[in-house]
């Protein structure tokens, strides 16, 4: 059994936070760290990097969006029972200030606003060390009863509604 089946979401995130489990690959790509997690909360730290600049010399807005999506998603993730999963349905982001290479470390803090049996909502803020707001977001997530199917399983995600081609049969 893998950790998704045996550990709660909070236990999984605490393992990432304390370094006993590798972080998600996106954290390495964008060089941000999970620095705190609680029941319904999560915090990530990011330091602006030259590799993340857009042609105008500011950090690409997609980096802020990824940080906020990660904080909101991890906040929801922390509420999951063992064997459960979630998927983000939508995230609404407001970028209110440009992130520059000289901005310094930023903190993305997420918290669950509502946790139902099938839908959860979360909010998050991206701030600097002085509490200055750079972006904020809300997110809606779908709670899934079991672990997501492996992307390496043949036919993963295919349903009868997808038609014969999706289930591996030849198209007519």
pLDDT, tens digit, 9 for 90 and up, residues 104-115: 999 999 999 999
In this model, does residue 25 exceed pLDDT 50?
yes
Give the number of domains in the chain: 1
Q: What is the pLDDT of residues 64-75, one digit of tens each?
A: 999 999 999 999
- Residue at 170 is within a domain: no
Predicted confidence (pLDDT) at residue 59 exceeds the cutoff of 50: yes
CATH number at residue 91: 3.10.129.10
How large is the average pLDDT for residues 132-149?
88
> Using an 8 Å Cβ cutoff, are 87 and 12 in contact?
no
pLDDT at 168 over 80: no
Question: Whole domain around residue 43: which residue ranges?
Answer: 3-149
Is position 169 within any domain? no
> Is 155 domain-assigned?
no
Structural contact between residues 14 and 34, judged by C-beta atoms closer than 8 angstroms = no
Q: Is residue 165 scored above 90 in pLDDT?
A: no
Within a domain: 168: no
């Amino acid at each position: 059994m893998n950790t998704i089946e045996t550990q709660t979401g909070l236990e999984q995130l605490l393992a990432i936070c304390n370094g006993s489990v590798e972080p998600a690959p996106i954290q390495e790509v964008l060089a941000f760290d999970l620095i705190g997690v609680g029941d319904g909360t999560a915090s990530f730290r990011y330091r602006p990097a030259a590799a993340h600049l857009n042609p105008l010399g500011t950090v690409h807005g997609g980096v802020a969006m990824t940080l906020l999506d990660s904080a909101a998603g991890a906040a929801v993730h922390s509420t999951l029972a063992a064997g459960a999963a979630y998927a983000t349905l939508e995230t609404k982001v407001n970028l209110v200030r440009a992130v520059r290479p000289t901005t310094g470390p930023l903190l993305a803090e997420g918290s669950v606003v509502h946790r139902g049996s099938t839908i959860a909502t979360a909010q998050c803020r991206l701030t600097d060390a002085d509490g200055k707001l750079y972006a904020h977001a809300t997110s809606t997530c779908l709670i899934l009863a079991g672990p997501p199917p492996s992307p390496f399983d043949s036919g993963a995600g295919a349903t009868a509604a997808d038609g014969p081609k999706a289930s591996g049969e030849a198209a007519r």
